[in-house]
C-alpha cells in the first residue's frame, strides 16, 4: 500500500515542476530522487520528438535536483528520416543546470515477424508485497519509498546483493497518465539501491548518471528490475539491471557508481 496523500510525484506551478513528498530522495529534504525527474525529462523529449520512438536515454546528474521547482529545456541535435538525437537540460530556479540528457529516437518499422530471443522475467502472480530495500534516509520527511509499491518473487527479499523485485509507482505529474517510457524511469534509477552490496550505514553508492535502453515499450503498470551491483576496489562501480514488464524483458538500465565507505 502507498503511504502518501499525494497522487503524483510532481505538480506544476506555471512553467515549473515542483516536487511532492514522494519525489524526495533519501539524502536531503530539499533534493529529489533522480528517478521521477528522469521521467519528466523523458516527457519533455517525447513532446519534442513526436514521430519516432524514444529508445535510449542517458541522464547526467550534475547537482542535486531541487524539490522547489525546475524547468526542462530540449533541443533536437539531428533529425534524420529514421533516427533522431536530442538533448535536454534540467535547470533550477537560479538557472543552474542540475541534469543534462541525451536521447536517441528511432522510427517504427513495419511489423514483420523476425527471429528474436525471448527473455521471460519473474512471475508477477507469485510475487509477495514487501518493503523497498532502501528505507534509511537522512531526514524525517516522507520520501520516494512512500510513493511506490514493491513485490518480491519467490526466493527474493530486501537483503543486500543481487536482487529482483517488482515495482509500481505513482504517476509523475498530477492530472496526467505517464507514457510507458516515463513510467519506467523511477524503477530504472533504483538499480543501485535494489542490488546494493551493503546497507547505507556502511557505505554510500551514489550514481552520477543513468542510461536506459529499451527494445520495446512496457505494457503493464507493475515493472520488474533484476539488478546486480559491481563494487571493485577503487570506489568506481556499476549497477546493471534487466528491466521487465509482465510479458518479459523490455530493456536495460546501467548506472555508474561512486562507492565510498562511511568513516
Please say if the pLDDT value at position 205 is more than 60: yes
Determine, yes or no, domain membership for 96. yes
Mean pLDDT of 89-116: 92
Name the domain count of the chain: 1
42 alpha carbon, distance to own chain's centre: 10
The range of the structural domain enclosing residue 155 comes to 10-108+119-261
In a domain, 5, yes or no: no
Q: What confidence tier does 27 reach under pLDDT thresholds 50, 70, 90?
A: confident
CA atoms within 13 A on the CB side of 209: 15
pLDDT of residue 1 exceeding 60:
no
Instruction: For residue 1, tell me if it sits in a domain.
Output: no
In a domain, 204, yes or no: yes
Domain membership flag for residue 153: yes
pLDDT band for position 114 (50/70/90)? confident
Instruction: Kindly state whether residue 134 falls inside one of the protein's structural domains.
Output: yes
For the cut 90, the answer to whether the pLDDT of residue 139 exceeds it is no
User: Which residue's entry shows cell 521521467?
Assistant: 39
Q: How far apart are the first and last CA of the chain?
A: 36
pLDDT digits (tens, 9 = 90+) for 157-172: 999 999 999 999 999 9
Cα 66 to Cα 10, 30, 170, 188, 201, distances in angstroms: 12, 6, 19, 20, 24
Task: With respect to residue 172, please indicate whether it lies within any of the assigned structural domains.
Answer: yes
d(CA 22, CA 4): 7
Q: Provide mean pLDDT across the span 243-253.
A: 97
Q: Is the pLDDT of residue 188 over 70?
A: yes
Q: What is the DSSP letter of 177?
A: P
Predicted local distance difference test score (pLDDT) of residue 3: 61
- Mean pLDDT value of segment 193-216: 93
CATH number at residue 219: 2.40.160.210
Q: Does a structural domain hold residue 74?
A: yes
Residue where the block lists cell 516522507: 142
Amino acid at each position: 500500500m502507498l503511504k502518501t496523500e499525494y497522487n503524483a510525484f510532481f505538480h506544476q506551478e506555471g512553467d515549473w515542476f515542483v516536487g511532492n513528498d514522494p519525489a524526495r530522495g533519501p539524502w536531503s529534504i530539499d533534493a529529489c530522487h533522480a528517478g521521477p525527474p528522469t521521467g519528466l525529462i523523458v516527457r519533455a523529449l517525447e513532446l519534442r520528438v513526436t514521430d519516432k520512438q524514444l529508445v535510449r536515454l542517458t541522464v547526467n546528474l550534475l547537482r542535486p535536483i531541487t524539490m522547489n521547482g525546475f524547468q526542462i529545456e530540449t533541443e533536437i541535435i539531428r533529425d534524420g528520416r529514421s533516427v533522431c538525437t536530442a538533448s535536454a537540460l534540467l535547470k533550477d530556479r537560479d538557472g543552474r543546470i542540475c541534469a543534462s540528457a541525451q536521447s536517441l529516437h528511432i522510427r517504427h518499422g513495419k511489423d514483420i515477424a523476425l527471429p528474436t530471443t525471448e527473455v521471460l522475467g519473474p512471475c508477477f502472480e507469485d510475487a509477495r508485497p514487501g518493503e523497498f530495500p532502501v528505507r534509511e534516509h537522512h531526514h524525517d520527511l516522507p520520501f520516494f519509498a512512500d510513493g511506490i509499491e514493491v513485490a518480491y518473487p519467490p526466493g527474493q527479499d530486501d537483503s543486500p546483493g543481487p536482487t529482483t523485485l517488482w515495482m509500481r509507482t505513482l504517476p509523475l505529474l498530477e492530472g496526467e497518465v505517464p507514457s510507458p517510457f516515463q513510467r519506467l524511469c523511477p524503477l530504472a534509477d533504483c538499480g543501485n539501491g535494489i542490488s546494493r552490496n551493503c546497507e547505507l550505514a556502511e557505505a554510500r553508492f551514489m550514481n552520477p548518471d543513468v542510461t536506459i535502453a529499451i527494445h520495446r515499450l512496457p505494457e503493464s503498470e507493475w515493472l520488474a528490475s533484476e539488478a546486480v551491483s559491481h563494487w571493485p576496489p577503487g570506489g568506481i562501480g556499476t549497477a546493471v539491471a534487466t528491466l521487465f514488464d509482465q510479458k518479459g524483458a523490455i530493456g536495460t538500465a546501467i548506472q555508474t557508481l561512486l562507492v565510498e565507505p562511511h568513516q
